[in-house]
């Protein structure tokens, strides 16, 4: 295939073509070392420079707030669902969660295995078409932390601002919108994300954590499930997913070249607006799944009149070179994931296809 697909995959998702080409150019001989980055020791100076550079670049994109560290941990965001309560939920404390949809639910499920949890707010009654109002978040007594999911990848909702939790640490799963817009890291004790949407290939979760959170992981925890292991060893306690971290560093360079988080946000807003406008101006042929004020700029969920028509839409889209427009199997419908790396031209092509499809059926 000579042409790149219009790739609307939800994750693993499109990566910037420039990054793939750069990686390709140095794939078999990185920096004149005579080997790929994948073939060299993770204890060597060449790899370590990449590792450290990725951490520094990430913090620099976030304005270099003091006191934060970047950790690279395998096991995806799902392992973080477990590590958070394992490390931060102390005796007599309660883990607090905001329940916003499928991923928040998975996070809560893990916390319940570890200790006492409290749902501090929920939008379940709206079938997750809405998000809880920030002022309706009610923390329990002895709250160890409040966890929220900034962007629900499956339902297609996104918080536009975050609660002030005072002295209670705020922890955020940003798997599907990290680095898609500026945010004030100092509001958070920890943010984390599986890499495979906005950061790089799958196989690593990026954790940005306030150093003072990691003072005393419980003694009984195995080494690989303790944040202090990663902190003390600069995420080099064992062999890290070195190729993935190298790719993250390249993606971060690309974000810098695009004008940093403001730059990518502008592009993301344009892409999302184009597609939402197509939905809203279709006279009801396409219908957005969630309330307009909580729509995600990353995962655009919509439906057609019947499931039959949705199937036809997906089939016809695939024939035209579109990939990944089928909604998540748990909710059905359609979903266009428009992460940082999705080119504007792909969003334009989708809108054109949506209009053609509508014309052919009405
Ligand atoms: N949280 C969110 C918001 C996600 O979208 C995903 C993956 N789609 C996860 C967590 C789980 O990530 P992983 O597959 O890396 O465990």
Average pLDDT taken over every residue of the chain: 97
For 43-78, the pLDDT digits (tens) are 999 999 999 999 999 999 999 999 999 999 999 999
Give Cβ neighbours of residue 64 (< 8 Å, ≥ 6 apart): none
pLDDT at 2 > cutoff 90: no
Could you tell me if 39 and 45 are in contact, meaning their C-beta atoms sit under 8 angstroms apart? no
For 186-236, the pLDDT digits (tens) are 999 999 999 999 999 999 999 999 999 998 788 999 999 999 999 999 999
For 75-92, the pLDDT digits (tens) are 999 999 999 999 999 999
Q: Is 229 annotated as a binding residue?
A: no
User: Distance between CA atoms of 39 and 245, rounded to whole angstroms?
Assistant: 14
Pocket probe mutation, ligand 1, options 80, 171, 175, 199, max atoms within 8 Å of Cβ: 175
Q: Classify residue 19 by its DSSP letter.
A: H
User: Distance between CA atoms of 55 and 229, rounded to whole angstroms?
Assistant: 17
For 162-180, the pLDDT digits (tens) are 999 999 999 999 999 999 9
pLDDT at 296 > cutoff 60: yes
Q: Backbone phi, then psi, for 268, in 5-degree steps? A: -65, -40
For 233-254, the pLDDT digits (tens) are 999 999 999 999 999 999 999 9
Pocket lining: 132 vs ligand 1, CB cutoff 6 Å: no
Mean pLDDT of 320-340: 96
Q: Closest Cα partner for 290 from 108, 165, 159?
A: 159
User: Dihedral of CA 194/199/204/205: which sign?
Assistant: negative
pLDDT at 1 > cutoff 70: no
User: Distance between CA atoms of 265 and 151, rounded to whole angstroms?
Assistant: 15
User: Distance between CA atoms of 240 and 351, rounded to whole angstroms?
Assistant: 41
Please state whether beta strands 117-122 and 94-99 pair in parallel, antiparallel, or not at all (unpaired): parallel
For 140-153, the pLDDT digits (tens) are 999 999 999 999 99
User: Distance between CA atoms of 202 and 199, rounded to whole angstroms?
Assistant: 9
User: Distance between CA atoms of 216 and 228, rounded to whole angstroms?
Assistant: 8
Pocket lining: 153 vs ligand 1, CB cutoff 6 Å: yes
- Residue 248: how many CA atoms within 13 Å on its side-chain side? 34
Pocket lining: 77 vs ligand 1, CB cutoff 6 Å: yes
Q: Is 352 annotated as a binding residue?
A: no
Whole-prediction pTM: 0.98
CA of 361 to the centre of ligand 1 (A): 35
Domains of the chain and any CATH numbers:
18-257 (3.40.640.10), 260-361 (3.90.1150.10)
Q: Closest Cα partner for 182 from 60, 76, 295?
A: 60
User: Distance between CA atoms of 154 and 173, rounded to whole angstroms?
Assistant: 14
């Amino acid at each position: 295939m000579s042409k790149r697909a219009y790739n609307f995959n939800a994750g693993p998702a499109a990566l910037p073509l420039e990054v793939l080409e750069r990686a390709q150019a140095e794939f078999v001989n990185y920096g004149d070392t005579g080997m790929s980055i994948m073939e060299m020791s993770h204890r060597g100076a060449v790899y370590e420079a990449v590792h450290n550079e990725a951490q520094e670049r990430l913090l620099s994109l976030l304005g270099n707030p003091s006191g934060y560290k970047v950790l690279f941990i395998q096991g995806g965001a799902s392992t973080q669902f477990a590590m958070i309560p394992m490390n931060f939920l102390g005796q007599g404390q309660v883990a607090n969660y905001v329940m916003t949809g499928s991923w928040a639910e998975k996070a809560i499920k893990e916390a319940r295995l570890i200790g006492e949890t409290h749902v501090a707010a929920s939008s379940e009654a709206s079938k997750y078409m809405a998000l809880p109002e920030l002022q309706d978040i009610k923390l329990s007594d002895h709250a160890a932390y409040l966890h929220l999911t900034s962007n629900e990848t499956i339902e297609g909702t996104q918080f536009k601002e975050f609660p002030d939790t005072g002295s209670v640490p705020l922890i955020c799963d940003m798997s599907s919108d990290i680095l898609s817009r500026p945010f004030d890291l100092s509001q958070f004790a920890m943010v984390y994300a599986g890499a495979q949407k906005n950061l790089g290939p799958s196989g690593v979760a990026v954790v940005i954590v306030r150093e003072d959170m990691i003072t005393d992981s419980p003694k009984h925890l195995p080494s690989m499930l303790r944040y202090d292991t990663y902190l003390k060893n600069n995420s080099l306690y064992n062999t890290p997913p070195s190729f993935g971290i190298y790719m993250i560093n390249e993606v971060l360079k690309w974000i810098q070249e695009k004008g940093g988080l403001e730059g990518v946000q502008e592009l993301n807003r344009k892409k999302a607006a184009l597609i939402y406008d197509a939905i809203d101006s279709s006279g009801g042929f396409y219908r957005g799944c969630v309330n307009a004020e909580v729509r995600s700029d990353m995962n655009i969920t919509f439906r057609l009149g019947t499931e039959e028509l949705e199937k036809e839409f997906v089939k016809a889209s695939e024939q035209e070179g579109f990939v990944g427009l089928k909604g998540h199997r748990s909710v059905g419908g359609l979903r266009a994931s428009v992460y940082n790396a999705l080119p504007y031209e792909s969003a334009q092509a989708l809108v054109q296809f949506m209009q053609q499809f509508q014309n052919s059926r009405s």
